[in-house]
Amino acid sequence: MSWVHCNKCFAEPNENGVKGTFFLTSCSHISCQKCYESSRNVCHTCKKQNIKVLRIDSSLNKQYRQYFVDISRVIASKMEEMGKIRKFQDIQIQNLVKGTLKFQDVVKKSQEMLKKYEIEHKKLKKENQELLVALKKR
């Protein structure tokens, strides 16, 4: 969290000479302990009065702590997660396409067979008629 700094004196946490914790104000500003103690319930950045503050440490609740996460790391991890989901869905879609193509192949082969049978049937019908005619002539 190299960007965290007191919005008034620009001190950074752990910087030499800066003691105590940092605070997040209810008006979304950040203050070091020294500046907070010198201005108390008035925000030194936006001059809002009767502000409330929260300590920026592990006690900060999740709702506010998320503002201090390493956003690039979150994005990288989300991207990895999305990549896995994408891969899974791609495999499913490929399988569906393969299955559909196979099914289309079966339908095509059945139609071809049906056509062959129809031709055969016509041929047999014609032969039958010719035989009948031949029989009648006798």
Binding site for Zn ion (CB under 5 A): 6, 8-9, 11, 27, 29, 32, 35, 43, 45-46, 48
Evaluate whether 108 touches 101 at the Cβ level (below 8 Å): no
Distance separating alpha carbons of residues 60 and 44, to the nearest angstrom: 21
Closer by beta carbon to Zn ion, 15 or else 98: 15
Residue whose CB is less far from Zn ion, 46 or 106 = 46
What are the tokens at 104? 């289309």
Q: Let me know: does 52 contact 23? Beta carbons within 8 Å.
A: no
Minimum CB distance to Zn ion, residue 8 (Å): 5
Helix (H, G, I), strand (E, B) or coil at 11: coil
Nearest approach in angstroms of CB 70 to Zn ion is: 23
Residues in the chain: 138
Of 48 and 65, nearer to Zn ion (C-beta) is 48
Cβ 86 to Zn ion shortest distance, Å: 42
